């Protein structure tokens, strides 16, 4: 007989989903109420203002899309880009390529600025492209490339967008909560994130925000948004201002309880403290990995603390290592993606999963599994090296 599903208890240190804070799972199990219930409307207002806090924005059109990060990307593109619009897209990993797909499916013209995988987006090259395409309307880029573990200079890129009269479209799926994201300060026009990375929430929701300039474009389009579900002109009727909310789609009620709790937790900790915590544990992990003899593919200045892309020792079957970590330690780390498949592991330190216990678990488990497989690593010192870092450095000094 088929019975209830009870998942194994894992430690999630891959590219997402990350470990979900038990407070969030508890919030999610509370009774479902109607999506137009006055209590739910009040919750929606709180979610909007907490999302504004997380993004550091006063943008009125700030809300969670009822679908994962990919839908947030699509929501930004389909609402802004009309047929014939030119979009300069910076690509330095997998997710920039998806932006191109989205733009082209809207009839837009994608002008690609290609950067090597594992490097940050080059500002000079981007400026050249903007100069050469003075008719471009948008500049789109991924702030934190989860496929490679690179953090790009979003502030500098948004300043370039402004200088060349473009609106900026920013992927902050992996950066939000783990690294500084300043929507109003940097002048971001459209941004999307996801719940399952540094917000440590269950997957399936995508917080988004649009500037007044972006809203102006959305309400004055010549053509209808090609997606009915993601058309902000319609979604605003449900998520918009005031008490008069009309049915658009049934909100994922319990998933929004979860997002609310995740954002409350982020606010309790404080944005700056959360960014510092990610940096702190990243440094400890890096110290251990490097002591073991594993290298980072990303130069130190461009490393994304919440996603560590580390090389695989010579002659080691990387999938067998991940399988052993899962079986022996209930520990999940990620494989390489796209052109980095088979070349790196991606070790996530996201949100609730970004802590000392996980850093030490991961280093000890990798050390043991790699030794069992006869890898040429420095064995038995990674955990000690990380512990030394923890003894010498304190979070308050990061």
In the list 33, 53, 68, 355, the residue contacting ligand PLP (rule: CB under 6 A) is 68
174 contributes a contact to ligand PLP by CB under 6 A: yes
Helices (DSSP H) in the chain: which residue ranges? 22-28, 38-55, 69-80, 94-105, 123-132, 154-163, 183-186, 212-219, 232-239, 253-269, 271-292, 318-329, 356-372, 382-392
70 contributes a contact to ligand PLP by CB under 6 A: yes
In the complex with ligand PLP, the residue whose CB is nearer, 203 or 313, is 203
Residue nearest ligand PLP, Cβ-based: 69
- Which positions from 10 to 49 touch ligand PLP by CB under 6 A, shown as an x/- string? ------x---------------------------------
178 contributes a contact to ligand PLP by CB under 6 A: no
348 contributes a contact to ligand PLP by CB under 6 A: no
146 contributes a contact to ligand PLP by CB under 6 A: yes
CB of 82 to ligand PLP, least distance (A): 23
Number of residues assigned to the chain:
398
Instruction: List Cβ neighbours of 317 (8 Å cut-off, separation of 6 or more).
Output: 373
Taking CB under 6 A as the binding criterion, the range among 124-132, 168-176, 280-288, 347-355 that sits at the site for ligand PLP is 168-176
Helices (DSSP H) in 117-252: which residue ranges? 123-132, 154-163, 183-186, 212-219, 232-239
**H or E element in which residue 352 lies:** none
What is the C-alpha to C-alpha distance for residues 144 and 151, in angstroms, rounded to an integer? 5
Dump the DSSP string for 59-88. -SEEEEESS-HHHHHHHHHHHH--TT-EEE
CB of 86 to ligand PLP, least distance (A): 22
173 contributes a contact to ligand PLP by CB under 6 A: yes
CB of 295 to ligand PLP, least distance (A): 22
* Side-by-side strand order, sheet with 167-171: 61-65, 206-210, 190-192, 167-171, 138-142, 86-91, 109-114
97 contributes a contact to ligand PLP by CB under 6 A: no
CB of 369 to ligand PLP, least distance (A): 26
What is the C-alpha to C-alpha distance for residues 193 and 72, in angstroms, rounded to an integer? 7
In the complex with ligand PLP, the residue whose CB is nearer, 153 or 367, is 153
229 contributes a contact to ligand PLP by CB under 6 A: no
> Footprint of ligand PLP on this chain (CB under 6 A)?
16, 68-70, 73, 95, 142, 146, 171, 173-174, 194, 203
């Amino acid at each position: 007989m088929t019975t209830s599903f009870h998942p194994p208890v894992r430690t999630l240190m891959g590219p997402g989903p990350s470990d979900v804070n038990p407070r969030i799972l508890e919030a999610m199990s509370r009774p479902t109420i109607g999506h137009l219930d006055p209590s739910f409307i009040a919750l929606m207002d709180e979610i909007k203002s907490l999302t504004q806090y997380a993004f550091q924005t006063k943008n009125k059109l700030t809300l969670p899309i009822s679908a994962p990060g990919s839908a947030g990307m699509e929501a930004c593109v389909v609402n802004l880009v009309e047929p014939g619009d030119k979009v300069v897209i910076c690509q330095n990993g997998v997710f920039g390529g998806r932006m191109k797909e989205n733009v082209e499916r809207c009839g837009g013209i994608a002008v690609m600025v290609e950067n090597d995988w594992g490097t940050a987006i080059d500002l000079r090259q981007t400026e050249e492209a903007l100069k050469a395409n003075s008719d471009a309307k948008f500049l789109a880029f991924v702030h934190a490339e989860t496929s490679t573990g690179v953090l790009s200079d979003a502030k500098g890129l948004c300043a370039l967008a402004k200088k060349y009269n473009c609106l900026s479209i920013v992927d902050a799926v992996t950066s939000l909560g783990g690294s500084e994201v300043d929507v109003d300060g940097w002048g971001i026009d459209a941004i999307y994130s996801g719940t399952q990375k540094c917000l440590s929430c269950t997957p399936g929701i995508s917080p988004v925000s649009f500037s007044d300039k972006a809203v102006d474009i959305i309400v004055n389009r010549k053509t209808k948004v090609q997606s009915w579900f993601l058309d902000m002109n319609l979604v605003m009727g449900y998520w918009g201002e005031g008490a008069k909310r009309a049915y658009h789609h049934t909100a994922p009620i319990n998933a929004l309880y979860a997002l609310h709790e995740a954002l409350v937790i982020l606010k309790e900790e404080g944005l700056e403290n959360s960014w510092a915590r990610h940096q702190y544990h990243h440094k400890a992990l890096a110290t251990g990995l490097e002591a073991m003899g594993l290298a980072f593919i990303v130069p130190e200045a461009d490393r994304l603390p919440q996603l560590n892309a580390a090389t695989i020792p010579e002659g080691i079957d990387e999938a067998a290592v991940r399988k052993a970590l899962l079986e022996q330690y209930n520990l999940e780390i990620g494989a390489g993606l796209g052109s980095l498949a088979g070349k790196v592991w991606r070790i996530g330190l996201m949100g609730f999963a970004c802590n000392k216990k996980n850093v030490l678990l991961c280093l000890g488990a990798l050390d043991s599994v790699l030794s069992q497989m006869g890898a040429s690593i420095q064995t038995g010192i990674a955990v000690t090296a990380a512990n030394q870092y923890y003894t010498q450095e304190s979070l308050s000094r990061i």
